[in-house]
Chains A and B, each alone.
Chain A
Amino acid sequence: MTGLQDAARDLLQSGEAAVVIGFGGGSAGGARPLMVRDPTSVGDLIFDDRCVHNLAVYLLKPEVKSLGKPAIVGTQAVLRSILQLASEQQVKDRDVIALIPEADGGVRRLETLGEIEGAVSKPDAVLSPEEQNCLDEIASLSREERWRFWQEEFSRCLKCYACRAACPMCYCSQCIVEVNQPQWIPVPAHPLGNMGWHLVRAMHLAGRCVNCGECARACPVDIPLNLLNQVIEKEVAEQFGGKAGLSATASYALSTFTTDDKDTFIR
C-alpha cells in the first residue's frame, strides 16, 4: 500500500499531477472514490479487493478536469477506458498518469498512451467464461422467454440513470433522454420508457463498451445491464473485428464500414 501512497505523494509534491484519483475507505467497510490534492493526505489512499469501481468516469467530469492534470489509480478496466476515451479524442497523450498497483506492493507508473496500450491485458478485455455462459443461457431461451426475462428485469428500473453516471463512455453533455423536442424516450419509469432507455443506452455504447461492468454494479435494482453491452460487443467483434479499449487510435466500429460487411438478412 505504501508504494501507491509514495507514488501519489511524489506526483503531488513534484507538481506532475494536481490530483490523484484513487480509493479511500468508505462507509460500511466499503471503498469509495477519493480525490487527493494535498500530499499530506495520501495516507487516506487504499487499494485492495474492495476497489473495483472504474474511476475513469471522473476523468471527463468538469469539476475534476478543472483541478488540473490527474493521476488515476488504475485497474485494467481503467486502462481500457482511457484508451477508448483517447480513441474518441476525449483524452490526449500525457493528459493522465495511470498508477497500477502491483501484487508485490509496488506501483507501475504509465505516463503516455503508448505505455498504457502496452500495459493493457488483451485476455482481460474479452468475456470471462461466466459472462459467456450467461449470454449463452439467455440466447438459448425462446424469443418469448427472452422477452419476458428482459421485461421482468426492466420492470424494476427506476430511471435513476446510475448506469449512465457510472459509465466512463457516457460523457455527452446532453443525453438523448434529456432531449424533449422530440421526446424519443418517455421519461416515466414505465415498461415502454424503461425498455427505450436501456436499448438506447446499449446502442449508443455499441462498439465503445470496455466491459468494465460498472453499469450493472451501479444499478440499485440489479439489472444485468452489462449483458446488453456484451452481446453488442460480441457482435461487433465477430462481424467487424476489433474490440473497444485496446487502442488509442482505433476507429469507431459504427462510423466506419467495409464494402463487404456480411449480412444475412437484407433482401
Chain B
Amino acid sequence: MAEFEPKVTAFVCTWCTYAGADLTGTSRIKYASNVRVLRVPCTGRIDFMYVLQAFTQGADGIIISGCHPADCHYTSGNYHARRRWIVLRALLDFVGVDTRRIHFAWVSAAEGAKWADLVNSVVSNVRELGPYDEYRQTIPAHIRPGGIAV
C-alpha cells in the first residue's frame, strides 16, 4: 500500500488568510500540497457543520483560519467565530471526535511564511495520526466517498 497522504481541508477567510496563502505562493515558499483551500467571506461565515461535512467527505485534518482579532474586515466576524469554536471544541471533545485533527489559526495577509508553517505542521501532524477512518466508519457503505480504504 502506498504511503498515506493526508487530505487537509482549509476553510480560510478571503480577506486575511486567503491573501496570506496567496502571498506564500507569490513569495515562492514551498509547502505541503495536501491542503485543499476553501475560501469563505469571513470566519464568522464558517458554520460548524462545515467541519463535520469535511470529515464526512474524506478530510483527515481541518484548518480554520482567518484574520487576527481586531483585524476582521467586517469588524467582529472573527470574534463571533472564536466563541463558536470554543463551544464546538468542547462538544466535539466530549463526544470523542479527534480534536487533534482540527486546527485553528489567525493568519494575516502579510503572513505568507506563517501559512506555510501552519500547513506543514498540520500535514505532518495528521500524517502521524493516520487516516481518520474512525469517523468515516460511521458513513454507510453506499454513500462513502470513493477511494477511501476503511
Q: A residues near B, CB below 8 A? A: 138-139, 143-151, 184-186, 188, 190-192, 195-196, 198-200, 202-203, 206-207, 227-228, 231-232, 234-236, 239-240, 253-259, 261, 263, 265-267
| CB-based contact B87/A147 at 8 Å | no
Q: B residues near A, CB below 8 A? A: 48-49, 52-53, 56, 69-70, 76, 79-80, 82-98, 103-106, 118, 134, 137-140, 143
> Of all chain A residues, which has the CB nearest B76?
A257
4 A-B pairs with the lowest CB-CB distances in the bound complex, closest first:
A147-B96, A146-B96, A191-B138, A257-B79
| CB-based contact A253/B143 at 8 Å | no
Min CB gap B80→A, angstroms: 6
A257 to B72 CA separation, bound complex (whole angstroms):
14
15 interchain pairs, CB-CB under 8 A: A143-B93, A146-B94, A147-B98, A186-B143, A188-B140, A190-B140, A199-B48, A202-B91, A239-B87, A259-B70, A261-B79, A261-B82, A266-B82, A266-B85, A266-B106
A149 to B97 CA separation, bound complex (whole angstroms):
12
Name the residue among A149, A150, A188, A257 with the largest chain B CB count within 10 angstroms: A257
| CB-based contact A235/B82 at 8 Å | no
Name the residue among B49, B103, B143 with the largest chain A CB count within 10 angstroms: B49
Interface of A is mostly: helix
Min CB gap B115→A, angstroms: 11
A146 to B93 CA separation, bound complex (whole angstroms):
9
A253 in contact with B83 given A192-B138, A266-B104 (CB within 8 Å): yes
| CB-based contact A266/B105 at 8 Å | yes
A188 to B143 CA separation, bound complex (whole angstroms):
12
Residues of B within 8 A of A145 (CB): 96
Residues of B within 8 A of A239 (CB): 83, 86-87
A205 to B137 CA separation, bound complex (whole angstroms):
27
Residues of A within 8 A of B79 (CB): 257-259, 261
